[in-house]
Amino acid sequence: MTQRFPEVVLAGDGFVLRPLAQLDVEDITAACNDAATLEWLPLPRPYRREHAEGFVDVIARDARESGRGVVFAIDVSGRLHGCIDLKATDWRAGTTEVGYWVAPWGRGQRLAGRATRLLAEWALRGQGLERVVLRAATGNLASQRSAESAGFVREGVARNAGLVHGGRVDRVVYSLVRDDLQWSVCRSPGRAGT
């Protein structure tokens, strides 16, 4: 039987991660036409309403049903503020990869980093996975800061590892592994006591 991620809602501090819905189509269309989003993600350009509908109805559903991943809306006060997903999941090896974008109206609150931490902890503690990888183009400083604020560890630079509209890019590779969570749990009381 195919191993899959369950369909859940995850509660964060001031936001929730929930499944995408048809109601999100307009916001997804607007967010995915934003210049910064299109600079770093190889999305269709222009990004039309039918692309967003296909994302909600086909791409997100297929990701979960195939077991390869799961897609969430980052929801603040009932409105989509971004999107975060797990992809390329290898259940046998215990690995998955996180990706995200935040809509222009949601930026500046570290939502990507906070959502990444919540989702990665869920994957490692709740779904039996061992390693979550995150890759950000070397020029994408906001994404690298988001990875770092989520507690991901920088491993190095994968050369010529991605394609964006502007051309090929090197990508910084980060990861969070299960032992990192044990370390932060063990370390907190020690810190508090010093």
Ligand X SMILES: CC(C)(COP(=O)(O)OP(=O)(O)OC[C@H]1O[C@@H](n2cnc3c(N)ncnc32)[C@H](O)[C@@H]1OP(=O)(O)O)[C@@H](O)C(=O)NCCC(=O)NCCS
Stretch that binds ligand X, among 7-15, 58-66, 137-145, 181-189 (CB under 6 A): 137-145
End-to-end CA distance of the chain: 49
CA atoms within 13 A on the CB side of 76: 17
**138 lies in the site for ligand X, by CB under 6 A:** no
**Best CA proximity match to 122, nearest among 153, 98, 142:** 98
Q: Which of 4, 61, 79, 110 binds ligand X (CB under 6 A)?
A: 110
- Cβ neighbours around 52 below 10 Å, total: 22
- Which residue, 4 or 161, has its beta carbon nearer to ligand X? 161
Q: Which of 95, 109, 127, 138 binds ligand X (CB under 6 A)?
A: 109
Q: How far is the CB of 89 from ligand X (least distance, A)?
A: 17
Distance CA 100, CA 142 (A): 12
Q: Which of 16, 30, 142, 158 binds ligand X (CB under 6 A)?
A: 142
Q: Which of 18, 61, 79, 145 binds ligand X (CB under 6 A)?
A: 145
Helix, strand, coil shares of the chain, percent, nearest 5, are 40, 30, 30
Q: Which of 5, 47, 72, 100 binds ligand X (CB under 6 A)?
A: 100
Contact in structure between 123 and 86 (CB atoms under 8 Å): yes
Stretch that binds ligand X, among 13-21, 34-42, 47-55, 123-131 (CB under 6 A): 34-42
Q: Alpha helices of the chain — where are they, by DSSP H?
A: 25-31, 35-40, 49-54, 60-66, 111-121, 141-149, 178-193
What torsion, rounded to 10 degrees, do the Cα atoms 117, 122, 127, 131 define? 10
Q: Which of 60, 76, 98, 102 binds ligand X (CB under 6 A)?
A: 102
Stretch that binds ligand X, among 1-9, 32-40, 64-72, 181-189 (CB under 6 A): 32-40
Contact in structure between 160 and 170 (CB atoms under 8 Å): yes
**79 lies in the site for ligand X, by CB under 6 A:** no
Q: Which of 6, 108, 156, 193 binds ligand X (CB under 6 A)?
A: 108
- The footprint of ligand X (CB under 6 A) covers 36-37, 40-41, 100-102, 106-113, 136, 140-143, 145-146, 149
